[in-house]
Structure 1
Amino acid sequence: MGISKINEPAALILIDIQKGFDNIEYWGGERNNLNAEENASQILNLWRENKLPVFHVQHCSSNPNSLLNENNVGNEIKELVKPIDGEVIIRKNVNSAFIGTNLKEQLDSANIKTLVILGLTTDHCVSTTTRMAGNFGYETFVISDATATFNKKGLDGQNFSAELMHETALASLNEEFATVITTDFLKQNII
């Protein structure tokens, strides 16, 4: 892939790895990449060991009926990637972690130019945040096997599988807004 080392300091952006996404039926009935959270946890541990900046993004839906509303247990960040002292939590209520938050200001004040993005869901908040990161000029990497999504219904009622949604979202991001890599590639070549 021609990537050697990430420019330090590289920030890890963990998007919406929340308990509400465990209810697969609520989100469409099918999910891909069931190991995404485990891979995210491995990457988070690598970042912590190397004392690199970590930003947890938490979706706080303004819809009181949403599993991701702050009054629902589904809003909680999953135990595998639970923030520890000193790690920033960015709370958002739209798809992009940059809208209505101070994420960009925090990144810029820390002189962070490179982002590694992972989380849920590939075609919504991961994609929207990645597109904005690319447009803002950050060198951006998305970890394909540390992201996941759900199936979607098409306009004519056809079912688009979770894997298809995931793969097309990543294809749309790769080499336009970000470089898409795997957890193993990250561990072997970047840190």
Structure 2
Amino acid sequence: MPTIPQNAALISIDMQKAFDAAPWPRRWNDKVDENGLALLAAWRAAGRPLIHVRHDSVEPNSTLRPGAPGNAFRPGFGPRPGEALVTKSVNAAFIGTDLDLRLRRLGIDTVVLFGISTDMCVSTSVRVGANLGLRVILVEDACDCFDLADGAGGTIPAREIHRAHVATLRYEFATVMRTVEVLDALGVAEPV
């Protein structure tokens, strides 16, 4: 089983309310909140570095724009006092933000990522992080994505989109783990 260095940072990506309603399509992972909250609780209990990423859209009609109800974090996912918040307006948590600088200043070379959506902001952040030289761990069952139109009148189910993106990320960009494996690596016997 892969190990997780003591100073590895957990990065929660776009765990926001907007994704529960239109215009966003159907999601598939009904355990995303449970698994994400278990990761946050274990990380906090271990006193390890934790960074929250929020998408602040610059599009005026976006459900993710600052001030819109959907911009808020899902219950339990907002930063607590002393926890870092990085805001972004594009898919990658590293582009147009100080995330890389924050990690470098803390001497962090390993990041553990989860969030919404697997194929967009999570995947892009994994790829950019790996290209910046970070060791990236993706917690696959603490991610979620949406059904998407295939451009030919059909729909690609979210579960298949997730599966394909996780396979690509595993092949070249990240170590892929499940929540229970991460908790085990932290020494947490049961989900918190």
TM-score by length of 1: 0.95
Q: Which runs of 4+ in 1 moved over 3 A?
A: none
Q: Say whether residues 1:152 and 2:148 are aligned partners.
A: yes
Aligned to 1:12: 10
Question: What is the DSSP-based 3-state SS (H/G/I as helix, E as strand, rest coil) of the residue aligned with 1:188?
Answer: helix
Question: What is the DSSP-based 3-state SS (H/G/I as helix, E as strand, rest coil) of the residue aligned with 2:9?
Answer: strand
Question: What is the DSSP-based 3-state SS (H/G/I as helix, E as strand, rest coil) of the residue aligned with 2:23?
Answer: helix
Amino acid of the structure 2 residue aligned with 1:16: D
Counting only pairs closer than 5 Å after superposition, residues 31-42 of structure 1 correspond to structure 2 as: 31-42=27-38
Structure 2 CA distance for aligned equivalents of residues 91 and 44 of structure 1? 18
Which moved further from structure 2: 62-71 or 90-99?
A: 62-71
Q: Say whether residues 1:86 and 2:51 are aligned partners.
A: no
Aligned to 1:26: 23
Counting only pairs closer than 5 Å after superposition, residues 1-191 of structure 1 correspond to structure 2 as: 2-3=1-2, 5-23=3-21, 25-28=22-25, 30-191=26-187
What is the number of equivalent residue pairs in this alignment? 187
Structure 2 CA distance for aligned equivalents of residues 63 and 153 of structure 1? 22
Q: 1:189 deviation in Å?
A: 2.8
Q: CA contact under 8 A between 2:46 and 2:186: conserved in structure 1?
A: no
Q: CA contact under 8 A between 2:42 and 2:186: conserved in structure 1?
A: no
Q: CA contact under 8 A between 1:140 and 1:179: conserved in structure 2?
A: yes
Q: CA contact under 8 A between 1:7 and 1:113: conserved in structure 2?
A: no
Amino acid of the structure 1 residue aligned with 2:24: W
Structure 1 CA distance for aligned equivalents of residues 96 and 159 of structure 2? 30
Which ranges in structure 2 are unaligned for 5 or more consecutive residues? Answer: 188-192
Structure 2 CA distance for aligned equivalents of residues 142 and 37 of structure 1? 16
Q: CA contact under 8 A between 2:130 and 2:174: conserved in structure 1?
A: yes
Structure 1 CA distance for aligned equivalents of residues 145 and 159 of structure 2? 8
Which ranges in structure 1 are unaligned for 5 or more consecutive residues? Answer: none
Structure 1 CA distance for aligned equivalents of residues 162 and 186 of structure 2? 23
Per-residue displacement from partner, 1:78-110 (whole Å, max 9, x unpaired)?
122121001111000000000000000000000
Structure 1 CA distance for aligned equivalents of residues 24 and 70 of structure 2? 13
Question: What is the DSSP-based 3-state SS (H/G/I as helix, E as strand, rest coil) of the residue aligned with 1:80?
Answer: coil
TM-score by length of 2: 0.94
